[in-house]
Structure 1
Amino acid sequence: MPIYIVLIYAVIVLFDPYGLLKQGNKRDFYVCSVLCLVSFSLAFALSMHWEIPSPSPLIVHVVKMLF
């Protein structure tokens, strides 16, 4: 399963951000690249059956601090 994830993301990385860079949208290219890296990391961790901690307690704590 991890091999499929790597292959799928390789295809996505080759086609998706390349058009942004070709058009001269460097900022959009960097944002797209960072989001793709985060997405790839999560997908790879899930395919390897690694435990991913829930961000819910941290989000609840930050919201409680705001109010």
Structure 2
Amino acid sequence: MVILIVLIYAVIVLADPYGLLKQGMKRDFYVCSALCLISFSIAFALGMKWRIPSPSPLIVSWVKLLF
């Protein structure tokens, strides 16, 4: 499963952000690369069956601070 995740992300990274860099859109390339890295990290952790903490308590506390 992990090998499949790595292969799929390798194809995505080679196909998607390269066009942005080729067109001279450096800022968009960096944002796309950062989001892809975050997405890959989460997918890899789920593939390895690692426990990922839920962001719900943090979001609930922020909403309570707003109201």
Does TM-score exceed 0.5, indicating one fold?
yes
Contiguous gaps of at least 5 residues in structure 2: none
Q: CA deviation at 1:66?
A: 1.1
Which residue of structure 2 aligns with residue 50 of structure 1?
50
Per-residue CA deviations over 1:17-59 (Å, capped at 9, x if unaligned) read 0000001110100000000000000000000000010000000
How far apart are the structure 2 equivalents of 1:55 and 1:21?
Answer: 32
Q: TM-score, normalised by structure 2?
A: 0.97
Which residue of structure 2 aligns with residue 28 of structure 1?
28
1:7-18 equivalences under 5 Å are 7-18=7-18
User: Percent of counterpart pairs with the same letter?
Assistant: 81
Q: Alignment RMSD, CA only?
A: 0.5
**Structure 1 segments of 4 or more deviating over 6 A?**
none
Q: TM-score, normalised by structure 1?
A: 0.97
Contiguous gaps of at least 5 residues in structure 1: none
